[in-house]
Homo-oligomer: A and B are copies of this chain.
């Protein structure tokens, strides 16, 4: 004999059941309206403390998890933050990303990663695809991008923070440091230690690499060595092998060179290892410095003198700034300069 009590009635109108615990379920359990549950859970507007508690309890009891898609559709704002970086093969950007993620995830945001490969068209494509997801915020590397990409960002109205460079563009937000000042500082270190034939060797040639080169020129000019400016610029991507090859080439083609400023530690590490192989004394024959202070630079033989860049702190601060923007809170320092540090080790 079947029980006459029906515990669940299948409504004939209900075409699709997902089996999910919804706001409505929580509302019913708490004896309030769905909208009150929504407000109580988001902490938005004032909800009577007593109701708030009842709602929280019901939500926990039922194991309620808000549906991000429904939330995004209704509010036209997702919980995604899109982060655009040039390359995943550069430790620098991975550390930046890691720091951003560590800051954003606990606050309930999801990070979407876009890799642009230093390519304007790719950046546009990635932006277009990300913007379709109506991200709550955007973090992009540097200021230099195609007008189309800039227009996409601008037109989207999505809060955006630029990282790695620092530039006081009106209305824009950034967290970074002066690449140019850093390039000048490390070159100055070489000059201060008596070097007079300093070369700047760079690969990839992204905007930040070129800015470091300007800093290098600044230092030489200021030292009255404008005629000694020696730049070796290679468009191909950086690698340790390339660094080794470039060291060899510079010493062959410009044997008077007594110091080399490599635009990044990958090249410099490769140069140090090549010097070991070739029997070139560092810093005796030639001083070598890099940029970024990547893992391993302190382990090289000799240890590498370089510029330590605060990419983790940049990631953390950019995330903080973005969260303020996303919440509509005021940002006190829209262009945050986190500086850099010349790390003196044995190679120069």
Contact = CB atoms under 8 A, between A and B. Distances in A.
A78 B129 CA distance: 14
Contacts of A67: 73, 132, 134
A68 interface: yes
A65 B101 contact: no
A18 interface: yes
Nearest to A69: B72
A301 B72 CA distance: 54
Nearest to A70: B73
Contact of A98 (B65, B88, B129, B244): B88
Interface string A227-270: 00000000000011100100000000000000000000000011
A150 interface: no
Contacts of A274: 299
Interface in A69-86: 69-70, 72-73, 76, 78
A277 B301 contact: yes
Interface residues of A, number: 47
A31 interface: no
B115 A98 contact: yes
A192 B135 CA distance: 57
A298 to B, nearest CB: 8
Interface stretch (A105-113, A195-203, A281-289): A105-113
Given A67-B73, A113-B111, A299 B88 contact: no
Contacts of A65: 128, 132
Contacts of A338: none
* 3 cross-chain pairs, A with B, having the tightest CB-CB distances, nearest first: A69-B72, A69-B73, A240-B299
A329 interface: no
A295 B270 CA distance: 11
Given A73-B73, A88-B95, 18 more contacts: A65-B128, A67-B134, A68-B69, A68-B132, A69-B72, A69-B133, A88-B101, A89-B295, A101-B115, A111-B112, A113-B113, A239-B295, A240-B296, A241-B299, A244-B299, A273-B301, A274-B299, A276-B276
Contacts of A181: none
A102 to B, nearest CB: 8
A296 B299 contact: no
A343 interface: no
Contacts of A18: 76
A117 B66 CA distance: 26
